[in-house]
Amino acid sequence: MKVTVFGAVDSLGQNVIRQSLDAGHDVTVYARPALAPADPDPAVQLVRAEPGDRGAVRTAVAGADAVLCAIGCAAETPTPIASALRVVLDVMADAGVRRLVAVSSAPAAPPHQKSRFDLLVKHPVLFLLHRERLTELRRMEAMLAQSDCDWTVFRPPNRLTTGPAVGKYRTALDSKLRRTHALSRADLAVAMVDAVGDESLVGHFVTISY
Residue bearing the bigger pLDDT, 59 or 37: 59
Task: Determine the distance from the C-alpha atom of residue 167 to the mean position of all C-alpha atoms in its chain, rounded to a whole number.
Answer: 18
Which amino acid is residue 54, in one-letter code?
R
What is the extent of the structural domain holding 193?
A: 2-209
What's residue 176's pLDDT?
Answer: 85
Residues 85-95 pLDDT 10s: 999 999 999 99
pLDDT of 78 higher than 60:
no
What is the rounded distance in angstroms from the CA atom of residue 159 to the CA atom of residue 156?
A: 8
The answer to whether residues 157 and 106 touch, using CB atoms and an 8 Å cutoff, is yes
pLDDT tens-digit readout, 113-148: 777 776 666 677 777 767 788 888 999 999 999 999
Mean pLDDT of 67-71: 93
Number of domains, the chain: 1
Residue 66 CB partners (closer than 8 Å, separation 6+): 1, 2, 3, 4, 97, 99, 100, 101, 196
Q: From its phi and psi, is residue 7 left (phi > 0), alpha (psi between -120 and 50) or beta?
A: left
Q: Measured between alpha carbons, how far is 153 from 169 in angstroms, rounded to an integer?
A: 16
What is the pairing mode between strands 170-173 and 204-209?
Answer: antiparallel
- Would the pLDDT of 72 be above 70? no
- Parallel, antiparallel, or unpaired: how do β-strands 160-161 and 170-173 relate? unpaired
What CATH code is carried by the domain that includes residue 95? 3.40.50.720
Above pLDDT 70, what percent of the chain? 93
- Region 25-41: what's the mean pLDDT? 87
Please give the pLDDT value at position 80: 76
The mean predicted confidence, pLDDT, of the chain is 90
